[in-house]
A and B are shown apart, each in its own frame.
Chain A
Amino acid sequence: MQVRMSTLKIGEKAIIDSFPENSQEGLRLLSLGILPGDEVEVTSKALFLGPLSLKHCKNTFFAIRRSHANKILVRLIN
C-alpha cells in the first residue's frame, strides 16, 4: 500500500517509492544517501508536527521535516 512517509507511525517500516518532484528536496535526500528503494523505519515523531526521525537501511539515521516527508511516497512492509 502506497502512503505518504509522514503518515507512518513510530516503529513502522517502509520502502521509499518516489521522491518529491522538486529537485532541490530530492537532491538533499540523495546527498544524505537516501535513495528510492531504500528501507526506512520511523524512530520518532517530534511534538507538534515536528520533524520525523528515521532509521535508514542497516546503519544510518536521519531526520526531515514533516513537510518534506509529506512529499515522499513509501510502501509499507509488515
Chain B
Amino acid sequence: MNSKVLLVGFPNSGKSSLFNILSGQRRKVTNYSGITVDAAQGDLLSNDQYDNKVKIVDLPGMYNLVPTSIDEGVSLNSLLNLTSDVSYNLVALVVDIERFESSMSLCLALKDLIGDKLVLIINKDDKKVITNEQRKLIEKETGLKALTTSSKKSNVREIDRFIRDSIKEEVALTGKVTLSKECLEYIPDYKDIPQVIVEEDQKIVLDQVNQYHKRAREIVEKIVRPDSKRVEVTRKLDKLLVHPLWGSIIFVIIFYLIFNSIYEWAGPLMDSVDSLVGLLGDWASSVLPDGYLKSLVVDGVIAGVGGVIIFAPQIGILFFLLSLLEQSGYISRAAVLSDRVMSIFGLNGKAFLPYLSGFACSIPGIMAARTIPSKKERVATIMTIPMITCSARLPVYILLIGTFVPKEKVFGFLNSQALSFFFLYFLGSFFALFMALIFRLTYFKGETSSFFIDLPLYQRPRLRIALGTALQKVKFFCKKAGTIILVLSIGIWFASTFPRLNPSEVLNKDPEVVASLQLQNSFMGRIGKTIEPVLKPIGMDWKMGVGLLVAFGARELFVSTMGTIYALGEVDEESSTLRERLKLEKDEVTGEPKFNLAVAWSILIFFVFSLQCTSTLAILRRELGNWKQPIFAFTYMGVLAWVGSFIAYNLLS
C-alpha cells in the first residue's frame, strides 16, 4: 500500500526541519512548469518497517488558501490535486505558536476544503511552549487531532506514529475555495474544477478570509492568554528602539559593535586556524617525498583550501551575533528602520540583513536573502550582494593601500589610507544598491514593492541556540566552499605548474628565478600573456593578469600569487619584501616603475566590482536555480570592474 502526506504551514514554521527528520533529509526539488520551487518529496524513514509506504511532500509556505505568490500557488496546486493523478491521503498542518491565530485561520480554511483528513502538528521549541491542556482544547475546538512536538531527533518515532495512525483513504475534496482572478496566475496547472469558485469582486474573497480569521480568533482567545508583562516590556522597548531619532542612533551603534567584534574576535581565531593549516602543511612536507605529489598537496590543496578555511571564524562569529539579535526580536526592527533607505533602491527592509551579512562573506548573505518575500526583490538583492566588500577583499586592500597610498593627513585630521579603505567600502555598497535599483527599474520591473512585517515580542536570546546556529553555518561553509575550493585549488596548481620547462633552461639559476620562469611558461602564464591586451588599457601587465585570474578561485589568492610571480615564494600581505619588490618592479621598455598609484587604484577598483569568487557563483547557481543569472551577474560586474579601473587608471596617470 502507498500513501501520500502533504506538509503545509507558514513560511519558516519549522516544516522543513520536520520533513528532514522524518525523511532523513533526502530532499528532491520538484519542478512546476519551468519554475523551480523548493517543494521536497521524500519517503518516511520508517517505511521499511511497515507495509504502508508513506511519501511525504514538504510544500512551500502558505498563509491562506488564496495565493499571492508562486510559492502559495504551488501549495494550493497540490492541495487541489491539479497535476498528479495520484491523490493524497492526509494533510499535516504545522502550527506556528508565534503566529497562532493566523495558523488557526489556515487550519479552518483547510478543514472546510478537505474535511477531517487533516491533522495538526504544533511545533514548539525552547521559546514556544504549549501545555497538554491547551493541546486538548485545540483538539476540541477544531475537531482535529493535534500533536505537540519539537523537531528534535528524539521525537521522530512519535511524529512518525502520529502521522501513520492518522492515514486513511484518499482525500476527496468536500469543500470549495473562493479565489479572485489575480490569484489564478500563481497556480501553475490551474484548470476549471468545481471546487474553485472564481470571484470578480476582490472584496468577497477578502471577506471570506476575514471570516476564517474571526473564527480563529475566537478559538485562540479560549486557548491562550496574552503575556501582558512581555507585551508591556515590548511596548516600552519599542518606544526607544524604533524611535525615529534614538532608534536610528542605536541601530548604527549596534551594527558598528557587531562589525567591530567580528574584526576584533576573529583575528586571534583566524591566526590559530592559519597556524594549524601551516602545521598541517609542514607535516605533509616532511612526510611526503619531494615531487609533484608533495607540491600538489602542500601548495595546491593545503595552501588553497587553507586560505579559505581561515575565514570560517568570521562566519561563525557573525552568525552567532546575528542569531542573538534574531532571537531577541531586534532584526525585524532593524528591517523597519532601514526600509525607507532600501525602498529608494526598489528593495525591501528585509534586504538589510542579507546585505549586512555580505560584508563578512557573500555566501551567507545570499542565503539570508531567502526571507525576502517578493521574488523579484530577492533576485535583485542576490544579484548585487557580491559587490558588497567582503572580508576576502581585505588582504588585497591592505597590501595595495599600504604600499601605494602615501600616509598623509587629509583636511588636517583624516588619515589618507583609512579614507581609501572607507572609499572602497562605500563604492561597493553604493553600487550594489544602485545596480539593484537599475534591475528593479528594468529587468526585474513591476511587482510594487511591499513591506509588511510582524514585530515579535522581545525575549532574552539563548546562547546555546546561537552557538548551534554558528556551528551549523561554519560546517556548511567548510563543506560547500571547501569542496569547490578544493577542486579549484587543484586546477590552479596544475595550470600554474605545467607544462614544465626544459631542464637546460633552468640550469645554474636561482630557485626563485626558476619559479618565476616556470610560471611564465605554464598554462596560467600563457593565459596571462593572452589576456594582456585587455589589461593594457587599465594599466596592468600579464603578471597582474595571472593574479586576477587566480583570484577567481578566491580573492585572497591574489596576494600569494603575486608573491610567487615576483619570485618570492610564499608571501603574505604584511610582507615588506613583497611591497618593496612591487615598488621596484620596472617596465621592460620604458624603465619606469611598473606599479604606481594609478596601477594600484586600477587593481583596487577592479577588486571592488569584479565577481571573482567561484564559491559565490556556485551559491548563486543554487539559490537562483539557473546558470543564466549567475553568468549575467559575473558579466555585468566584470564590465563595471573594467570600466571602473579604466577610469581610475586614466584619471591618475
Chain B nearest CB, measured from A26 CB (Å): 5
Complex Cα distance, B242 from A48, in Å, reads 13
Most A CB contacts (10 A, CB to CB) among B217, B226, B228, B244 go to B244
Chain A nearest CB, measured from B561 CB (Å): 46
- Chain B residues, CB < 8 A from A60: 454
Q: Does A65 contact B (CB under 8 A)?
A: yes
Known contacts: A25-B450, A35-B213, A51-B336. The answer to whether A65 contacts B63 by CB under 8 A is: no
Interface residue from A26, A43, A50, A62 paired with B235 (Cβ < 8 Å): A43
Find the B residue at minimum CB distance from A52. Answer: B336
Assess whether B182 is in contact with A24, with CB atoms less than 8 Å apart.
yes
- Chain B residues, CB < 8 A from A59: 226-228, 231, 457
- Chain A residues, CB < 8 A from B622: none
Interface residue from A29, A32, A47, A61 paired with B248 (Cβ < 8 Å): A47
- Chain B residues, CB < 8 A from A64: 451-453
Assess whether A62 is in contact with B68, with CB atoms less than 8 Å apart.
no
Chain B nearest CB, measured from A56 CB (Å): 9
Which of these binds chain A: B203-211, B519-527, B612-620? Answer: B203-211
Chain A nearest CB, measured from B445 CB (Å): 17
Assess whether A50 is in contact with B450, with CB atoms less than 8 Å apart.
no
Q: Does B101 contact A (CB under 8 A)?
A: yes
> In the complex, how many residues of chain B place their beta carbon closer than 8 angstroms to a beta carbon of chain A?
48
Mask, B183-227, CB within 8 Å of A = 1, is 000000000000000000011011001100110010000000011
Q: Does B486 contact A (CB under 8 A)?
A: no
Assess whether A44 is in contact with B239, with CB atoms less than 8 Å apart.
yes
Assess whether A27 is in contact with B339, with CB atoms less than 8 Å apart.
no
Mask, A8-35, CB within 8 Å of B = 1, is 0000000000010111111111111101
- Chain A residues, CB < 8 A from B239: 43-44
Q: Is the interface of A mostly helix, strand, loop or mixed?
A: mixed
Chain A nearest CB, measured from B243 CB (Å): 6
Assess whether A46 is in contact with B337, with CB atoms less than 8 Å apart.
yes
Assess whether A63 is in contact with B182, with CB atoms less than 8 Å apart.
no
- Chain B residues, CB < 8 A from A28: 68, 450, 452
Complex Cα distance, B235 from A68, in Å, reads 22
Known contacts: A36-B210, A47-B340, A50-B337. The answer to whether A31 contacts B63 by CB under 8 A is: yes
Interface residue from A21, A27, A43, A68 paired with B63 (Cβ < 8 Å): A27
Chain B nearest CB, measured from A48 CB (Å): 5
Complex Cα distance, B373 from A24, in Å, reads 13
Q: Does A75 contact B (CB under 8 A)?
A: no
Known contacts: A33-B99, A35-B210, A44-B244. The answer to whether A51 contacts B339 by CB under 8 A is: yes
Find the A residue at minimum CB distance from B202. Answer: A23
Complex Cα distance, B450 from A28, in Å, reads 9
Q: Does B247 contact A (CB under 8 A)?
A: yes
Interface residue from A51, A58, A62 paired with B340 (Cβ < 8 Å): A51
Assess whether A27 is in contact with B450, with CB atoms less than 8 Å apart.
no
- Chain B residues, CB < 8 A from A49: 340
Q: Does B66 contact A (CB under 8 A)?
A: yes
Q: Does B455 contact A (CB under 8 A)?
A: yes
Complex Cα distance, B245 from A26, in Å, reads 30
Complex Cα distance, B450 from A54, in Å, reads 17
Q: Does B420 contact A (CB under 8 A)?
A: no
- Given A32-B454, A55-B235, 11 other A-B residues pairs in contact with their CB atoms under 8 A: A21-B202, A23-B180, A24-B450, A25-B452, A30-B105, A47-B340, A51-B336, A53-B455, A59-B228, A60-B454, A61-B238
- Could you jot down 21 A-B contacts, CB within 8 Å? A21-B202, A23-B68, A32-B454, A33-B101, A33-B213, A35-B213, A35-B214, A36-B210, A43-B235, A43-B238, A44-B247, A48-B340, A50-B336, A51-B336, A51-B349, A55-B235, A58-B226, A62-B453, A63-B455, A64-B451, A65-B343
